[in-house]
Amino acid sequence: MPEVLLTPDSSMGVSPKDPLLATKLYIPPVRPELVSRPRLIERLNAGLYRKMTLVSAPAGFGKTTLVGEWLRRADRPFAWLSLDEGDNDPARFLSYLIAALQTIQADVGQVARTMLQSPQPPPMESVLTMLINEIATAWGDAPLLPKAGFALVLDDYQLISAQSVHNAVTFLLDHLPPQVLLVILTRADPPLPLARLRVRNQLTEIRADHLRFTPDEATVFLNQVMGLELSAEDIAALETRTEGWVAGLQLAALSMQGREDVSDFITAFTGSHHYIVDYLVEEVLNRQPKSVREFMLKTSILERLTGALCNALTGRTDGQAMLELLAQSNLFLIPLDNERCWYRYHHLFNDVLQKQLQSNFANDFAQLHRQAAEWYEKNHLTRLALDHALSANEFALASQLFYKYWMEWITLYNLPANLKSLQQIPGSVTRAALHGLA
């Protein structure tokens, strides 16, 4: 659909100094590969009595598709605004917000927009107050949701970084009439009063764990939508490899179309597949600041991540804060405990990170494993220390670790497996280790 500019001659009367794109106000079209998700529709419907619904998950989890399906099923109006980086200007953000509201009530926001376009606009709070008053006048006498009222949807909220815009949204949240439900779709949790809303039972949350395809949904998608004829075993294997990530399943399905060796493909399917690499590099990695990219790449050698261990590998002192930032930003980081001390990367994403690590920091690869081995030994996690010593080809260190802790490993670990892994160590190094421990 071509981009359409709203001009002064349009029904919205936008100033020619700052024309608005009408396509930002359109709900995205239905995708042909839609899988109906009644369990999530029910969750969204349950949130109609609250102030806000937050749909927060990494790229490719079907956030926009889900909310689009929900809105099309509903018998109530909605206003849609797809945000971009230009909306970090508060006046522009409010102009688009008013234009979105006018798609369901033509005269709402007229006074607030006039205030915005005046030669000396008043403080933003005054404009917001007028806008809220106009909304209350238009809908204040209507029955509450779900029987009446409307949903105001802000898509791609992760592109908003200006605190002034966050403040404006917070003001709206605090003062909108109960006939209005604010719905935010984002790849990263926004700096809004989520904790306060959560405590007051005014927030509905849909996150990656909810959006992951279940085995049944994966079966419908792969066999009915994508036209494949996969066995239950193949579907289960692919669902496990992708961890229910919708985009991962779609990219795998596209790769399998027309192939005869489907089972072999699924067995070999990893984050090194070029479709996965291209998507995650373009949609995730390249959108992060350099410091965040380097942190993720250097810590990708780890099966589990914690703050102090990340500091040992990166030379930083804020490893825990970085992990919390990645988790808050939905950067494919999965917590492994309720205290959020240990994390891991999504398996496919970790494959991509390691591939990029080899491309960008190949000379640091052995050193990173050596530093991990030293940290693990210092913290009495000797089996993991051995793994990283071997990955770094630090055979002397690996031999010393094995012979120093072998009695412990007989009790706690699978000793034959350890012996097998040690076969790569040259005999001369093993004898030197034994001599050093004698």
What per-residue confidence (pLDDT) applies to 356? Answer: 93
pLDDT attached to residue 30? 74
Query: What's residue 3's pLDDT?
Result: 40
Domain 273-360, second-level architecture: Orthogonal Bundle (1.10)
Q: How far apart are alpha carbons 199 and 203 in whole angstroms?
A: 8
Concatenated DSSP letters for 58-118? Answer: -TTS-HHHHHHHHHHH-SS-EEEEE--GGGGSHHHHHHHHHHHHTTTSTTTTHHHHHHHTS
Is 404:437 a contact under the CB 8 Å cutoff? yes
Helix runs in 26-62, H state only: 38-46
E strands, 188-307, are 203-207
The token pair that represents 46 in the structure block? 């349950």
What is the three-class DSSP state of 55? Answer: strand
**pLDDT score of 188:** 94
* CATH 3.40.50.720 corresponds to the domain 5-211: no
Answer with the residue of higher pLDDT: 420 or 285: 285
Residue 329 and residue 186 in contact, taking contact as beta carbons nearer than 8 Å:
no
Q: What is the pLDDT of residues 110-160, one digit of tens each?
A: 999 999 988 888 999 999 999 999 999 988 776 666 666 899 999 999 999
CB-count burial class (<10 Å; 0-12, 13-18, 19+) for 286: exposed
Q: Which helix (H) or strand (E) holds 343?
A: strand 343-345
Q: Which of 165, 207, 155 is nearest to 186 (CA)?
A: 155
pLDDT in tens, 207-255: 999 999 999 999 999 999 888 889 999 999 999 889 999 999 988 888 8
Domain ranges of the chain: 5-211, 215-269, 273-360
**Residue 13 above 60 pLDDT?**
no
Does 71 have pLDDT greater than 60? yes
Confidence of residue 15 (pLDDT cuts 50, 70, 90): very low
The per-residue pLDDT for 4 is: 41
